[in-house]
Amino acid sequence: MIMLLSALLVASLWLHQRPAPRKVTQEDIDAAVLRTLETTTPPSADARAVEAIAPSVVRVAGYSRSKNGKEEIERGVGTGVVIVDKGVILTNLHVVAGADRIAITFHDGLETTASITGTQPENDLAVLQAHKVPDDLEAAPLRSTQDLRPGDHVVAVGFPFGIGPSASAGVVSGLRREFTSPEGKRQLSNLIQFDAAANPGNSGGPLVTLDGEVVGIVTAILNPTSARTFIGIGFAVPIENAAAAVGMPPF
C-alpha cells in the first residue's frame, strides 16, 4: 500500500511539473498558411476558366440517313453551350443544318437528342432544345463584349476533330471583323478575332474570359490553304448576337 501511494505521488508531481501546451498564436497560423502557399501550386487562370465553363459545354453531332435509308451517317461533330438550364443550347447553324438527327452529350455523360427551335443564319447560329437534361445542369454565365479589348485573355472550349472537351488559350486579336467562307456561302460581320487554337469541331463552342464568362460563340477559322486547320486566326460571334437568337434581353 505504501509503495502504491508513493507511485501515485510521484506521478502527480510529474504531471504538475510538465509544462502546459503552448497556445497557438496568429503568427503560427500565418506561418502555416505561408508554408501551404509555398508548397502548393494553385491552378492557373486558364484552368479556373475551363473549370467554370466545363459543366455547360456539350458535344453536338449531326446524323443523316444513308441513301438506302438503313444506316445513320455522322455528318460532323461540333460543340454547344447551355445558356438556359432547361436544356437550351447555342451552337453554329452549319453544325446541325440538314441533319436528320441531332445528338447531344452533356458534361456528365448523359446522351440525348435535340431539336432546332430557332436559327439566326446571318450569324451562323442555331438554338437547340435538348429532349433530356441532367438534374444539375448549369447554364453558362454570359458577359457583354462592350468592354472587351484586344489583348484580353480568352479560352476556347470544344471538341476539335471530335476530341474533347479540349481547351486552348489565347487573346482577343481584334473586334468587329468580317469573314467570308472559302466557298463564299457564309458572310459574317461584327466578329471577335482571337488566336486561341480552334479547329473543325470547335464550331459552336464558347469563347470565355478568364472569369469563365461567355463572350462569344466560336464560328470560323481563317486558313487560305485547303487544309482547313488553324493557323492563328479564329472568329467568334459576340454573345450579344447569340443571346438575341434565343430572345434573351440585351446586356
- The catalytic residue positions are 94, 124, 203
What is the C-alpha separation between 243 and 249, in angstroms, rounded?
7
Burial class (CB in 10 A: 0-12, 13-18, 19+), 175: middle
- The alpha carbons of the chain give a radius of gyration, in whole angstroms, of 28
99: phi then psi, degrees, rounded to nearest 5? -75, 140
Cis, bond preceding 160 (omega within 30 deg of 0)? no
| Contact of 230 with 223, CB cutoff 8 Å | yes
